[in-house]
């Protein structure tokens, strides 16, 4: 499983594309927002947590189809399926690799982009904390979506349609933590709920993804 | 009828033969109840003292909202039956129910918007109930799109069943998340089976009639659409065999 | 015959119209597809029978 993880990481870094692309997309979304809503810094600082969360979510979405599609095309997914590794382990490793290459850089980049949107100083810590806590759930849910659409020719659009509704609870609680953090309000409840959703999806969703992948490989 | 006898309908032939006899009755009963309930509600009930004539929208709004949720529940049950017992009819019934549920969701949203405009002064508010229904609509959309996208029937049934299970969990989660996120304008459930004092009898009886009508309509449509799906599946199988022989 | 709907005539009539239209559309589409598939299946079955 660790070998699979390191292989995926090495491939992602060598290919370069997926790694930087998500970050670049995140940057562009954040830069475009002031053009859309106007440059008033008061307005920007109120919507900054939400925009940053939404940008991170979309950047995450962008790279989902790469989780499984390449391995499907060159047949290494079939090889993996016949290996002694359980399918649940494979999808978990894939999700972890996706988070390390996409989620983690987004978490690290978010405070820098927060400066652009005039995020209040108190909010930086909570923004990073909420993203660090929430993006693993995005990766795991995304892997489920990628497993559903892996055999399809034009799966990308369908993948977004399937995954975005599943992102709703994570987005609500994540953005709520970031917003309350920026406004200096109490935030233990959404933080606990966000952590609960992340733990629950990490614990249970790999079974669903594995079942889906098995059906797809049959 | 014992529970075991129920599984006989998992046989497609038996299903078609039985529904051949049952379907006309259900369809006519649905039409009768719908027309009776709606005519009663529209022409022969008084206006509400606060809501005026807009109270007449309740005869469409409440039943369609109920069916929008019940259709998903039915899909959840039939998906589970498919996963556990692998009866094709069950998976096809889930497929048949999805568009019906989606239209019910649309009706509930549309009538809600039209009712909200005069009552709350807005077509749309990001109220928990409204938002949950919009999310439910998105789930229906994704579910139907997934069925359409996959060519192999059995794979499609597997994937959509699992999507339905996972989607149900996330739909519930979203419901609570949305509740937490915004307290809304929408009144609480104005009717439950044990307690009806929220709705006066004049409105209650025609409402019951339309609810029965919507339930029957749903059953009739799902039976008919399931028959269609069974036939379509059989046709695909026959054509595939033909290609193999050629 | 139409009851006096007062100032709310537009939303009430509109919601009845929209709902009935949507439901009628659904019923119509279901009936049409049912008919089509039934006929197509009959075609295929008779063809297979005649081919032996």
Q: Which residues of C touch B238 (CB under 8 A)?
A: 41, 44-45, 48
**Does the distance separating the beta carbons of A216 and B170 come in below 8 Å?**
no
Residues 171-200 of A with CB under 8 A from B: 172-173, 176, 189-190, 193, 197
**In this model, does residue A121 exceed pLDDT 90?**
no
Q: Of A192 and A8, which is predicted with more confidence?
A: A192
Token pair, residue B51, equals 């809501």
Q: Of A66-75, A125-134, B179-188, C39-48, which has the strongest mean pLDDT?
A: A125-134
Tokens coding B42: 């529209």
Q: Where are the alpha helices (DSSP H) in chain A?
A: 2-15, 17-37, 41-62, 69-73, 76-82, 87-98, 104-116, 123-148, 155-183, 188-217
Task: Say whether residue C46 is in contact with chain B using an 8 A CB cutoff.
Answer: no
Range of the domain at A204: 2-217
Answer yes or no: is pLDDT of A206 > 90. yes
pLDDT number for residue B164: 95
Arithmetic mean of pLDDT, A107-127:
89
C9 at interface of B, judged by CB pairs closer than 8 A:
yes
Where does the pLDDT of residue A17 fall: very low under 50, low under 70, confident under 90, or very high at 90 and above? low
Record: contact A161-B181, CB cut-off 8 A: no
pLDDT exceeds cutoff 50 at B163: yes
Q: What is the pLDDT of residue B195?
A: 41
pTM attached to this predicted model: 0.89
Q: What is the model's pLDDT at position B130?
A: 84
Report whether pLDDT(B162) > 90: yes
Q: What is the pLDDT of residue A212?
A: 92
Higher pLDDT, B210 or B246: B210
The predicted structure's pLDDT at residue A22:
83
Model pLDDT, residue B52: 74
The pair of structure tokens assigned to A12 is 């992602």
> If you average pLDDT over every residue of chain C, what do you get?
85
Residue B184: the pLDDT is: 55
Total domain count, chain A: 1
Q: Do B42 and C7 make contact, defined as CB atoms within 8 angstroms?
A: no
Q: How many CB atoms lie within 10 A of CB A125?
A: 11
C39, burial (CB in 10 Å: exposed 0-12, middle 13-18, buried 19+): exposed
Residue B196: per-residue pLDDT: 44
Phi-psi region of B125 (alpha: psi -120 to 50; beta: other; left: phi over 0): beta
Residue appearing with tokens 């595939």: B240
Report the residue from C15, C33, C41 with minimal CB separation from B110. C15
Hey, what are A167's tokens? 């992102």
Chain B (97-136) residues lying within 8 Å, Cβ to Cβ, of chain A? 135
Spell out the domains of chain B, with CATH numbers in brackets.
23-245 (1.20.120)
Q: Which of A2-6, B2-6, B141-145, B186-190 has the highest mean pLDDT?
A: B141-145
By CB atoms closer than 10 A (0-12, 13-18, 19+), residue A156 is: middle
What pLDDT is recorded for position B194? 41
For residues B93 and B198, the model is more confident at B93
Token duo for residue A51: 């925009």
DSSP B118-177: HHHS-S----HHHHHHHHHHHHHHHHHHHHHH--SHHHHHHHHHHHHHHHHHHHHHHHHH
Range with the lowest mean pLDDT among B141-145, B173-177, C28-32? B173-177
Is C1 in contact with B43 (CB distance < 8 Å)? yes
pLDDT range class, residue B70, cuts 50, 70, 90 = very high
Q: Spell C1-35 as b/e; 16+ CB within 10 A means b.
A: eeeebeebeebbbbbbebbeebbeebbeebeebbe
Q: What local confidence, expressed as pLDDT, does residue B193 receive?
A: 40
Higher pLDDT, A101 or B187: A101
ipTM of predicted complex: 0.88
Q: For B174-196, how does the pLDDT look when each residue is reduced to its tens digit (9 = 90+)?
A: 888 888 887 655 665 544 444 44
The shortest CB-CB distance from A165 to any of B139, B146, B165 is to: B139
| A42 band by pLDDT with thresholds 50, 70 and 90 | confident
Helix (H) or strand (E) holding B230: helix B201-245
CA distances from C18 to A9, A98, B51, C33 (A): 53, 45, 20, 22
Evaluate if residue B215 carries a pLDDT over 90: yes
Q: Is the Cβ pair A161, B178 closer than 8 Å?
A: no
Chain B residues bordering chain C (beta-carbon distance below 8 Å): 38, 42-43, 47, 52-54, 56-57, 60-61, 64, 99-100, 103, 106-107, 110-111, 114-115, 117-118, 217, 221, 224-225, 227-228, 231-232, 234-235, 238-239, 242
The confidence band for A218, taking pLDDT boundaries of 50, 70 and 90, is: confident
- Residue B192 is predicted with a pLDDT of 43
Chain A interface test: which of B82, B146, B149, B151 (most A C-beta within 10 Å): B149
Confidence (pLDDT) at A20: 75
pLDDT digits (tens, 9 = 90+) for A51-70: 999 999 999 998 888 888 87
Place of tokens 């046709």: B235
- Residue contact B180–A193, C-beta within 8 A: yes
Element (DSSP H or E) covering residue B30: helix B12-43
The count of CB pairs under 8 A between chains A and B is 77
What is the 3 state secondary structure string of B32-82?
HHHHHHHHHHHHCCCCECCCEHHHHHHHHHHHHHHHHHHHHHHHHHHHHHH
pLDDT value of position A18: 59
Among C20, C25, C27, which would you mutate to test the B interface (most chain B Cβ atoms within 10 Å of its Cβ)?
C27
């Amino acid at each position: 499983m660790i070998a699979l993880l390191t292989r995926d990481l090495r491939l992602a870094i060598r290919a370069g594309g997926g790694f930087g692309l998500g970050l670049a997309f995140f940057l562009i979304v954040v830069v475009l927002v002031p053009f859309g809503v106007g440059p008033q810094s008061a307005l920007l600082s109120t919507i900054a947590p939400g925009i940053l969360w939404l940008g991170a979510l979309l950047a995450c979405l962008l790279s989902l189809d790469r989780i499984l599609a390449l391995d499907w095309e060159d047949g290494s997914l079939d090889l993996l399926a016949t290996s002694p590794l359980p399918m649940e382990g494979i999808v978990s490793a894939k999700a972890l690799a996706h988070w390390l290459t996409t989620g983690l850089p987004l978490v690290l980049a978010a405070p820098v982009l927060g400066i652009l949107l005039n995020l209040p100083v108190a909010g930086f810590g909570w923004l990073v904390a909420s993203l660090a806590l929430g993006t693993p759930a995005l990766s795991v849910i995304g892997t489920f979506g990628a497993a559903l659409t892996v055999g399809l020719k034009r799966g990308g659009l369908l993948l977004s349609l399937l995954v975005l509704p599943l992102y709703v609870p994570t987005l609500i609680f994540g953005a709520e933590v970031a917003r309350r953090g920026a406004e200096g309000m109490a935030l233990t409840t959404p933080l606990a709920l966000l952590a609960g959703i992340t733990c629950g999806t990490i614990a249970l969703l790999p079974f669903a993804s594995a079942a889906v992948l098995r059906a797809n490989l049959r | 009828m014992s529970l075991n006898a129920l599984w006989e309908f998992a046989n497609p032939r038996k299903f078609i033969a039985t529904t051949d006899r049952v379907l006309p009755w259900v369809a006519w009963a649905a039409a009768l109840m719908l027309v009776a309930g709606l005519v009663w509600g529209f022409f022969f009930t008084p206006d509400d003292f606060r809501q005026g004539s807009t109270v007449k929208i309740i005869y469409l709004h409440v039943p369609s909202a109920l069916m929008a949720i019940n259709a998903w529940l039915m899909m959840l049950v039939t998906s589970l039956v498919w996963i556990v017992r692998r009866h094709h009819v069950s998976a096809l019934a889930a497929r048949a129910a999805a568009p019906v549920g989606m239209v019910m969701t649309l009706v509930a949203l549309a009538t809600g918007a039209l009712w909200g405009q005069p009552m709350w002064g807005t077509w749309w508010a990001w109220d928990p109930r409204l938002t949950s229904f919009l999310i439910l609509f998105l789930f229906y959309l994704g579910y139907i799109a997934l069925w359409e996208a996959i060519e192999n029937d059995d794979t499609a049934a597997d994937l959509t069943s699992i999507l339905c299970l996972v989607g149900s969990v996330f739909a519930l989660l979203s419901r609570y998340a949305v509740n937490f996120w915004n307290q809304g304008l929408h009144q609480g459930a104005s009717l439950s089976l044990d307690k009806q004092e929220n709705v006066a009898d004049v409105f209650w009886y025609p409402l019951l009639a339309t609810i029965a009508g919507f339930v029957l309509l749903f059953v009739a449509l799902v039976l008919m659409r399931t028959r269609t799906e069974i036939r379509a599946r059989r046709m695909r199988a026959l054509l595939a065999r033909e290609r193999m022989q050629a | 015959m139409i009851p006096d709907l007062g100032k709310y005539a537009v939303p009430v009539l509109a919601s009845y119209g929209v709902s009935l239209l949507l439901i009628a559309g659904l019923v119509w589409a279901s009936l049409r597809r049912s008919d089509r598939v039934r006929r197509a299946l009959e075609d295929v079955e008779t063809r297979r029978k005649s081919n032996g």
